[in-house]
């Protein structure tokens, strides 16, 4: 199944403006403000993109890392960014300079145990040759644009900006036909730790022991600077006021997540089983008999009588 292309979700901003032109009733300041907030919410999108300046190195098996500070991070690409990846290789060969300004998506992988540190890597989107097009001109080195749900997650002590898949019809049709494992992988959120002391709204914290009506996380849009020494981001400025209503997004259901986890467990068990089968003796020898055959045999000791 082919993954749908990344397209921006449709908005109702243009339709709303057309409707307001055709109406003969006068719009009150309150209704105008409410409509503007609704339009802003519709045009808002989940986003995590930034600029990093680091030394890029390629391995013999065509994998790449980028050095930021004293740390090395995996630099990977998807099929749609393959040309950017090969273009970066050619640019480094042509200029003989490994230090490049990269446009990247951060990918933070958290683990169930809090004692196990999260794993951070970067997905290559493009690189800046010096003409500063688009996002490369808007952001300084190590700055990121983060737009998502402001909340705590169970496996991270630092509050996070949770980035989900933006909703559109094409993606919805894709996940409806996908199996649970593909759905879970496609809709997996990225939780970016953000250090923000004087935030105008508190990060949402879900309490499993409390009732269902606990509210919901706010949607924030901020500029933040990546801090390699902490594998986290520090707040720089708000790009827009926080919103109580988030834009539409895709989120994997608990049922699909459980089925995907079950399937993953079965696959691991099958792999272990195949390794045991390879080590097993040829023929239909029962396990117990095989163990008996492998035991060292003791030769009988002859008794010698002396006259």
- Whether 303 is in a domain gets the answer no
Rounded Cα–Cα distance for residues 84 and 77 (Å): 8
Residues ≥6 apart with Cβ < 8 Å to 219: 41, 44, 147, 148, 149, 150, 242, 243, 244, 245, 246, 247
Convert the pLDDT of each residue in 125-161 to its tens digit.
999 988 777 899 999 999 999 999 999 999 999 999 9
Interval 253-257 mean pLDDT: 85
Q: What is the pLDDT of residue 151?
A: 98
- Whether 36 is in a domain gets the answer yes
Backbone angles phi, psi at 211, to 5 degrees: -75, 180
Interval 222-228 mean pLDDT: 98
- Whether 290 is in a domain gets the answer no
- For residue 250, the Cα-to-chain-centroid distance in whole angstroms is 13
Strands (E), the chain: 47-58, 64-68, 71-76, 99-109, 119-128, 143-151, 160-163, 165-166, 190-195, 218-227, 232-243, 249-250
User: Could you tell me what percent of the chain has a pLDDT over 90?
Assistant: 57
Rounded Cα–Cα distance for residues 199 and 219 (Å): 12
- Whether 288 is in a domain gets the answer no
Mean pLDDT for the chain overall: 81
Convert the pLDDT of each residue in 201-213 to its tens digit.
999 999 888 877 8
First to last CA, the chain: 89
- Whether 175 is in a domain gets the answer no
Question: In terms of pLDDT, which residue wins out, 232 or 133?
Answer: 232
Nearest to 118 by CA among 154, 75, 66: 154
Tokens 């749609």 identify what position? 80
Q: What is the pLDDT of residue 260?
A: 87
Convert the pLDDT of each residue in 269-285 to its tens digit.
666 666 555 555 455 54
- Whether 278 is in a domain gets the answer no
- Whether 184 is in a domain gets the answer no
Convert the pLDDT of each residue in 77-87 to its tens digit.
999 999 999 99
**Cβ-count burial of 214 within 10 angstroms (0-12 exposed, 13-18 middle, 19+ buried)?**
exposed
Convert the pLDDT of each residue in 14-69 to its tens digit.
333 333 333 333 444 544 444 454 444 457 999 999 999 999 999 988 899 999 99
Structural domain that includes position 68 = 30-165+190-249
Q: Which two tokens stand for residue 20?
A: 């307001």
Q: What is the pLDDT of residue 179?
A: 92
DSSP bridge partners of 243:
219
Q: What is the pLDDT of residue 212?
A: 79
In 81-220, alpha helices (H):
82-95, 135-138, 169-177, 180-186
Q: Which two tokens stand for residue 296?
A: 């060292």
**Number of independent structural domains in the chain:** 1
The SS3 call for residue 174 is: helix
What interhelical angle do 13-22 and 29-43 show, nearest 10?
Answer: 150
Banded model confidence at residue 4, pLDDT cuts 50, 70, 90: low
- Whether 243 is in a domain gets the answer yes
Question: In terms of pLDDT, which residue wins out, 124 or 252?
Answer: 124
pLDDT above 90: residue 218:
yes
Question: CB–CB of 80/5 below 8 Å?
Answer: yes
Rounded Cα–Cα distance for residues 155 and 227 (Å): 20
């Amino acid at each position: 199944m082919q993954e749908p292309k990344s397209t921006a979700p449709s908005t109702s901003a243009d339709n709303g403006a057309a409707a307001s032109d055709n109406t003969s009733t006068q719009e009150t300041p309150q209704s105008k403000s409410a409509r503007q907030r609704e339009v802003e919410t519709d045009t808002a999108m989940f986003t995590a993109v930034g600029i990093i300046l680091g030394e890029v190195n390629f391995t013999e098996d065509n994998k790449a890392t980028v050095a930021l500070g004293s740390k090395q991070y995996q630099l990977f690409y998807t099929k749609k960014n393959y040309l950017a990846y090969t273009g970066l290789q050619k640019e480094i060969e042509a200029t003989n300079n490994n230090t490049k300004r990269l446009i990247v998506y951060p990918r933070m992988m958290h683990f169930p145990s809090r004692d196990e540190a999260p794993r951070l890597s970067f997905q290559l989107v493009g690189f800046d040759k010096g003409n500063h097009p688009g996002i490369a001109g808007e952001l300084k080195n190590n700055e990121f644009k983060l737009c998502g749900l402001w909340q705590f997650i169970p496996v991270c002590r630092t509050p996070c900006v949770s980035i989900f898949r933006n909703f559109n019809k094409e993606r919805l049709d894709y996940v409806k036909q996908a199996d649970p494992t593909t759905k879970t992988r496609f809709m997996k959120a990225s939780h970016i730790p953000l250090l923000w002391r004087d935030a105008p709204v508190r990060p949402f914290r879900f309490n499993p022991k409390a009732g269902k009506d606990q509210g919901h996380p706010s949607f924030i849009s901020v500029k933040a600077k990546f801090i390699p020494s902490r594998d986290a981001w520090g707040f720089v400025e708000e790009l827009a006021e926080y919103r109580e209503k988030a834009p539409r997004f895709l989120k994997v259901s608990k049922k699909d997540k459980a089925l995907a986890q079950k399937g993953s467990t079965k696959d691991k068990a099958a792999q272990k089983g195949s390794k045991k089968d390879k080590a097993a003796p040829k023929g239909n020898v029962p396990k117990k008999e095989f163990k008996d055959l492998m035991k060292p045999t003791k030769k009988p000791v002859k008794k010698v009588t002396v006259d």
